[in-house]
Amino acid sequence: MSDSKPAGQFFDAAIGLLQRVRDEEADSIVAAGTLIADTVADGGRLFAFGAGHSSLAAQDVVYRAGGLALMNLLSVPGVVGVDVMPATLGSALERVDGLASAVLDCSPVRSGDLLVIISLSGRNALPVEMAMNARALGVKVIGVTSVAYTAETKSRHVSGTFLKDHCDLVLDSKIAVGDAEITLESVPAPFAPASTVVTTALLQAVMATAAGALADRGIEPPLLRSGNVDGGHEWNGRVMTEYGDRIFYRR
């Protein structure tokens, strides 16, 4: 039964989206998790990138208790969150041509690595060029985006293409254009965004798949444990020592 109150409406919408992603993206989730497991097993490194609020989902899989220790944040100054002043600068930087190339050139990303690129609209120059340039380097790219934007908006990249057009695998978050789940006659604008909830859940499902795939091959997944449980620091120290050459957030 649906709820008539805004809080209930939001939960209903978020749950519905999570169910859609679970069911409709099941094959893609398995494929993405398998690709990550392949990269780990082959000695590659893992990176995640997102701009603005999409960076929240990227940060959620980096240095995370219960997550893969090898996932590193590919940071672009000014677009990682809303801490830059003014906050609108981050949005402006997403549209700057050439920024992605400069970031990749100065990063440790190399052929054989894997990069997860998260962009809800997938239409700005930064995520599009990030995917194009990463693949040119021999990097596997998993794009996490809302495919609906490709049908209802125009690309802001000179090529006229979207993030989804330059990925080895695409995960569709199913978020509607505008990222607002509730409309009320008494409120002049739609509200209640669900992209963060859905995208983070989607990526954690991929990470869980990767861990399971590694275990199925007889490879211990390089997982981190919470530092707030007994033995957690010792466990993490062992993992970080073993995989130190593939972990960059400690440097």
Model confidence pLDDT, tens digit, residues 89-99:
878 888 878 88
* pLDDT of amino acid 113: 98
Length of the chain: 251
Spatial contact of 158 and 126, defined as CB atoms under 8 Å apart: no
- CA-based end-to-end distance of the chain: 51
Integer Cα distance of 153 and 121 in angstroms: 8
Integer Cα distance of 80 and 51 in angstroms: 5
Tokens of 121: 């609209």
Residues of the chain predicted below pLDDT 50: 1
- Three-state SS for 169? strand
- pTM across the whole model: 0.94
* pLDDT of amino acid 2: 57
Q: CA dist 200 to 26, 173, 233, Å?
A: 15, 10, 25
Cβ burial of 18 (10 Å; 0-12, 13-18, 19+) is middle
What's the mean per-residue pLDDT of the chain? 94
Tokens of 191: 């509200």
* pLDDT of amino acid 216: 98
Model confidence pLDDT, tens digit, residues 34-81:
999 999 999 999 999 998 899 999 999 999 999 999 999 998 887 877
* pLDDT of amino acid 3: 66
Integer Cα distance of 79 and 22 in angstroms: 29
Angle of CA points 38, 216, 214, to nearest 5°: 35
* pLDDT of amino acid 98: 82
